[in-house]
């Protein structure tokens, strides 16, 4: 579900140690620094081990150091320290490994290769089966933090690796975690960590659901019924909603109708809070840099208040990200239904309509349970999700980013924005047009996403893929209405070449296949929307789009993107209105050149995801017939 939650590595409270380490990194080679860490980790002295773990945490703040640190075997040295007798060593190792796992799926796979699950599972068995925080012990906070770090480490590796989930299922950890859902005994921080982990582990995992059904069902009901406006309560209710749905294999309608309504209202309440306003208020509390570029952190009561405020905003953003993910899953199409279905005359049905197998058409909104559709509309959930795709003002994010303790807020804001776009994409596919603000409302979303993609110079590929997917889906929603006829294209009638130049340049410069695919399909749909109003200007735009897609097809290395480009051309020229343009650009001849290229790449690139295989296979099959059809017209 993409819920890897990055945490800022804990910095050594001893500033002299931090500064000395930074100087050491600058003076000595990285290799020497890593060797020093290794030597200290293998020492008997607890202080030396602790210093080494602090140094390691500092080292991996720079991702350029990670590969070399891993190759020197630091993971295999640090991971067993999760079982160290000294609680401070367990805490420091758990924090550093969790921070490492937050760097992405590839590093989680590396952690699995270095057998992270063995010491991690042993930690839960050895230290958590009967543990309860003792308020009288000085080590209470440290032990709590260690537990939370280990749970989040488990979350990250399970989210990235099916093998990690398999190991988890074979252990007794899922028998242990439910005891930590006792809010009065363990507190909100522990409960939230466990719920976040279960949210991930239970997704599409019927075995885990069956295992946990009796042990967490009552607790989940209590969480759903919690009252209060605290950010921790908001997050617990939201996570409990997601876990409840995942417990029933994601089929929300299998729950009692009262629970369905309760969950939808929880999601609406979570998303109703203005995240931009919350960040704006936080930025007013964050200390600014002075003239020399240094930031003087607050002390005493002010420091505690700022720390509490940052935690509140982080929990709000976690709540909203989880709520968006839950809604996106509810609105996601069933496997197999997303594939294009050919009609009897060779034309394809659009994303807005799916064959029911008996000659009729089923719209996506007809497949959404009525009570869910009604709740989404009445609670204005689409509008609430779309609002989360908007970031606070630039000056607000700059202030938050410059201060170390609030920098994580900006990262989470961007994660929420990306998830919101994925949610918007799924909701566009599922909701009726008139509940999305009509064609004009959908067009505005397309324009606003275009501004995010093409005018903000964004380098985040995950964000760009999400935003371009929304743009593509929005145009598809505009394109197909009623019985699949192209309608409401008048909003594009005045489109000129200058209007699409930015998009064409974006495709040329794009290195990510998924984004290229979205953009190619999108400009093809734009051409199709101009078909009903052919004049000299629109015909010229269609010709430029055609020649550009054909040119890109010749340059394309990924067979499924090549198939997408060819399929886009087939869609565009399946309309009678484009016959003259097809002859003018000599389309049949150009497609005849591409046909063997497509077949050759299809033979070379056989290992593809299912949906890509279907696209390539269908395009290979349809292209010869389409070329013949175009030739007969001329």
Q: Give the DSSP letter string of 395-413.
A: HHHHHHHHSGGGHHHHHHH
At residue 625, does pLDDT exceed 50? yes
pLDDT of amino acid 483: 38
Q: Looking at residues 520-540, what average pLDDT do you find? A: 86
Overall average pLDDT of the 1-6 stretch = 37
The answer to whether position 2 is within a domain reads yes
Per-residue pLDDT, averaged over 364-393, amounts to: 90
* Domain final residue pick, 151, 166, 199: 151
481 and 499 together in one domain: no
Q: Which residues pair with 354 in a beta bridge?
A: 362
Residue 365 has what pLDDT? 59
Rounded to an integer, what distance in angstroms lies between the CA atom of residue 222 and that of residue 210?
A: 20
Confidence class of residue 461 from pLDDT cuts 50, 70 and 90?
A: confident
Average pLDDT over residues 193-218: 94
Cα–Cα distance, 544 to 498 (Å, whole number): 11
Give the pLDDT mean for 61-82: 90
248 within a domain of the structure (yes/no): no
For the chain, the C-alpha Rg in angstroms (whole number) is 27
CATH number of the domain encompassing residue 117? 1.25.10.10
When pLDDT is cut at 50, 70 and 90, the band that residue 495 belongs to is low
What is the model's pLDDT at position 456? Answer: 62
Give the Cβ contact number of residue 321 at 10 Å.
26
Residue 352 and residue 392 in one domain: yes
Contact 508, 522 (CB under 8 A): no
Task: Write down the mean pLDDT value for the chain.
Answer: 86
Which regions of 306-389 does DSSP assign to beta strands (E)? Answer: 354-355, 361-362
Counting the structural domains of the chain, the total is 3
* 395/474 same-domain check: yes
> Is the model more confident about 497 or about 549?
549
Mean pLDDT to the nearest integer, 340-345: 37
Return the higher-pLDDT residue of 344 and 557. Answer: 557
Which pLDDT score is estimated for 169? 95
pLDDT confidence tier of residue 104, bands split at 50, 70 and 90: confident
Residue 391, pLDDT > 70, answer: yes
| % of residues, the chain, pLDDT over 70 | 86
The H or E element that residue 282 is part of is helix 275-285
Q: What is the pLDDT of residues 231-282, one digit of tens each?
A: 999 999 999 999 999 999 989 989 999 999 999 999 999 999 999 999 999 9
Q: Rounded CA gap, 2 and 271, in Å? A: 19
Which pLDDT band, with edges at 50, 70 and 90, does 535 fall under?
confident
Examine residue 209 and state whether it is found in any structural domain, yes or no: no
Which of 108-122, 133-147, 565-579, 590-604 has the least mean pLDDT? 133-147
Residue 135 burial class via C-beta count within 10 angstroms: exposed 0-12, middle 13-18, buried 19 and up: exposed
**138/439: higher pLDDT:** 439
Does residue 232 lie within any of the structural domains?
no
**pLDDT score for 364:** 58
CA-to-CA separations, 131 to 126, 144, 362, in angstroms, rounded: 10, 10, 54
Asked whether residue 611 carries a pLDDT value surpassing 70, the answer given is yes
Q: Would residue 170 count as lying in a domain?
A: no
Query: Do 444 and 521 fall into the same domain?
Result: no
pLDDT above 50: residue 17? no
Q: Are 413 and 391 in contact (CB under 8 A)?
A: yes
Nearest alpha-carbon partner for 309 in 330, 290, 282, 333: 282
Phi, psi of 348 (to 5 degrees): -100, 145
Examine the pLDDT at 215 and tell me if it is beyond 70.
yes
Per-residue confidence (pLDDT) for residue 7, from 0 to 100: 34
Asked if pLDDT for residue 26 goes beyond 50, the answer is no
Mean pLDDT along residues 555-572: 94
Q: CB burial class (10 A; 0-12, 13-18, 19+) of residue 483?
A: exposed
> Are residues 469 and 500 located together in one domain of the fold?
no
Is residue 410 a contact partner of residue 416, using CB atoms and an 8 Å limit? no
Count other Cβ atoms within 10 Å, centred on residue 69.
Answer: 20
pLDDT in tens, 296-323: 888 889 889 999 999 999 999 999 999 9
Together in a domain, 519 and 479: no
Flag the least confident range among 150-164, 216-230, 528-542, 587-601. 528-542
| CA 83/CA 125 separation, integer angstroms | 10
pLDDT at position 427 is 94
Same domain? For 349 and 466 the reply is yes
* Among 302-316, 368-382, 470-484, the least confident range: 470-484
Q: How many CA atoms lie within 13 A of 203 on its CB side?
A: 20
Is the pLDDT at 20 greater than 80? The verdict is no
pLDDT tops 60 at residue 5? no
Place of tokens 């939201």: 238
- Helices 231-247, 183-201: inter-axial angle, 10-degree rounding: 50
> Can you tell me the mean pLDDT for 97-109?
92
Going by C-alpha positions, the residue among 113, 86, 10, 98 that lies closest to residue 55 is 10
Give bridge partners of residue 257 from the DSSP assignment: none
Provide the 8-state DSSP code for 129.
S
Span of 30-44, 476-490, 519-533 with lowest mean pLDDT: 476-490
- Same-domain check for residues 441 and 551: no
Rounded Cα gap, residues 452 and 300, in angstroms: 41
Which residues are 348's β-sheet partners? 342
Same domain? 76 vs 5: yes
Asked which of 445, 469, 488 is the last residue of a domain, the reply is: 488
Average pLDDT over residues 494-499: 68
Going by the DSSP 8-state scheme, the letter that residue 6 receives in this structure is -
Which region among 57-66, 107-116, 340-349 has the lowest average model confidence (pLDDT)? 340-349
The confidence score (pLDDT) of residue 342 equals 38
Share of the chain above pLDDT 90, in %: 62
DSSP symbols for 213-272: HHHHHHHHHHHHT-----HHHHHHHHHHHHHHHHHTTT-GGGS-HHHHHHHHHHHHHHHH
Distances (CA, A) of 497 to 394, 521, 541, 548: 31, 17, 6, 12
Residue with tokens 């910095």: 11
Tokens of 447: 């324009």
Residues 507 and 443 both lie in one domain: no
One domain, residues 506 and 550: yes
**More confident of the two residues 595 and 338:** 595
- On whether residue 234 sits in a domain, the answer given is no
Instruction: Kindly state whether residues 324 and 464 are assigned to the same domain.
Output: yes
Contact 157, 117 (CB under 8 A): yes
Q: Residue 531's pLDDT is what?
A: 83
> How does residue 355 score in pLDDT terms, banded at 50, 70 and 90?
very low
Which pLDDT score, from 0 to 100, does residue 334 have?
53
CA distance 612 to 190: 41
From residue 100, give the alpha-carbon distance in Å to each of 8, 38, 107, 156, 252. Answer: 10, 17, 7, 10, 35
**486 backbone dihedrals φ, ψ, rounded to 5°:** -80, 120
100, 124, 151 - which closes a domain:
151
Res 356 pLDDT > 70: no
Mean pLDDT in residue range 18-39:
65
Whether 27 shows a pLDDT value over 80: the answer reads no
- Of residues 275 and 439, more confidence is placed in 275
Q: What is the band of 137 on the pLDDT scale with cuts at 50, 70, 90?
A: low
**Residue 626 is part of which domain span?**
495-634
- In terms of residues, how long is the chain? 634
Tokens for 3? Answer: 């819920």
> Do 49 and 81 form a contact (C-beta atoms < 8 A)?
yes
Q: Is 175 domain-assigned? A: no
Whether 225 is covered by a domain: the verdict is: no
Confidence at residue 25, expressed as pLDDT on a 0 to 100 scale: 46
Contact indicator for 375, 381 with CB cutoff of 8 Å: yes
DSSP state for residue 393 in the 8-state scheme: P
């Amino acid at each position: 579900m993409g819920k890897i939650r990055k945490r800022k590595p804990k910095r050594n409270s001893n500033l002299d140690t931090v500064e000395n380490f930074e100087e050491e990194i600058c003076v000595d080679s990285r290799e020497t620094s890593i060797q020093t860490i290794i030597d200290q980790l293998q020492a008997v002295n607890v202080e030396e081990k602790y210093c080494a773990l602090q140094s390691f945490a500092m080292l991996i703040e720079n991702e350029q150091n990670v590969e070399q640190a891993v190759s020197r075997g630091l993971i295999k040295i640090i991971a067993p320290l999760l079982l160290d007798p000294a609680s401070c060593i367990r805490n420091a190792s758990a924090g550093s490994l969790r921070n490492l796992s937050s760097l992405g799926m590839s590093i989680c796979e590396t952690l699995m290769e270095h057998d992270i699950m063995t010491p991690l599972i042993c930690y839960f068995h050895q230290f958590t089966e009967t543990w309860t925080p003792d308020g009288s012990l000085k080590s209470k906070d440290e032990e709590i933090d260690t537990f939370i770090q280990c749970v989040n480490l488990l979350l990250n590796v399970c989210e990235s690796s099916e093998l990690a989930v398999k190991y988890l299922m074979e252990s007794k950890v899922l028998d242990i975690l439910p005891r930590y859902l006792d809010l009065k005994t363990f507190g909100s921080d522990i409960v939230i960590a466990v719920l976040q982990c279960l949210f991930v582990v239970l997704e599409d995992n019927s075995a885990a659901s069956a295992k946990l059904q009796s042990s967490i069902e009552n607790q989940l009901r209590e969480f759903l019924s919690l009252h209060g406006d605290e950010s921790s309560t908001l997050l617990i209710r939201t996570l409990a909603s997601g876990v409840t749905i995942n417990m029933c294999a994601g089929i929300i309608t299998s729950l009692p109708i009262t629970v369905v309504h309760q969950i939808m209202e929880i999601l609406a309440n979570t998303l109703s809070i203005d995240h931009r306003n919350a960040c704006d208020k936080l930025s007013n509390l964050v200390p600014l840099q002075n003239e020399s570029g240094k930031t003087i952190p607050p002390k005493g009561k002010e420091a505690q208040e700022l720390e509490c405020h940052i935690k509140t905003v982080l929990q709000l953003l976690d709540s909203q990200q989880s709520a968006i993910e839950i809604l996106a899953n509810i609105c996601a199409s069933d496997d197999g239904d997303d594939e294009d279905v050919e009609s009897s005359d060779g034309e394809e049905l659009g994303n807005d309509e799916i064959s029911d197998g008996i000659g009729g058409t089923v719209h996506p909104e007809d497949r959404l349970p009525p009570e869910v559709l009604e709740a989404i509309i009445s609670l204005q959930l689409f509008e609430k999700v779309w609002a989360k795709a908007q970031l606070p003002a630039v000056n607000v994010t700059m202030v938050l980013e410059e201060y170390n303790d609030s920098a994580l807020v900006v990262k989470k804001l961007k994660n929420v924005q990306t998830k919101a776009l994925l949610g918007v994409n799924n909701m566009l596919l599922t909701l009726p047009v008139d509940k999305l603000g009509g064609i004009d409302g959908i067009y505005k979303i397309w324009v606003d996403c275009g501004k995010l993609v093409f005018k903000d110079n964004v380098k985040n590929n995950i964000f760009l893929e999400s935003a371009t997917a929304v743009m593509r889906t929005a145009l598809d929603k505009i394109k197909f209405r009623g019985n699949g006829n192209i309608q409401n294209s008048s909003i594009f009638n005045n489109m000129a070449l200058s209007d699409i130049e930015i998009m064409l340049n974006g495709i040329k410069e794009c290195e990510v296949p998924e984004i290229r695919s979205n953009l190619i399909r999108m400009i093809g749909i734009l051409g199709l929307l101009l078909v009903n109003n052919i004049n000299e200007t629109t015909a010229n735009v269609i010709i430029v789009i055609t020649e550009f897609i054909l040119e890109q097809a010749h340059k394309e290395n990924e067979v499924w993107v090549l198939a997408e480009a060819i399929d886009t051309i087939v869609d565009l020229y399946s309309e009678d209105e484009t016959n003259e343009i097809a002859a003018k650009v000599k389309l049949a001849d150009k497609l005849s050149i591409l046909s063997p290229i497509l077949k050759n790449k299809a033979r070379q690139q056989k290992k593809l995801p299912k949906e890509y295989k279907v696209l390539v296979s269908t395009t290979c099959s349809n292209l010869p017939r389409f070329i013949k059809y175009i030739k007969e017209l001329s």
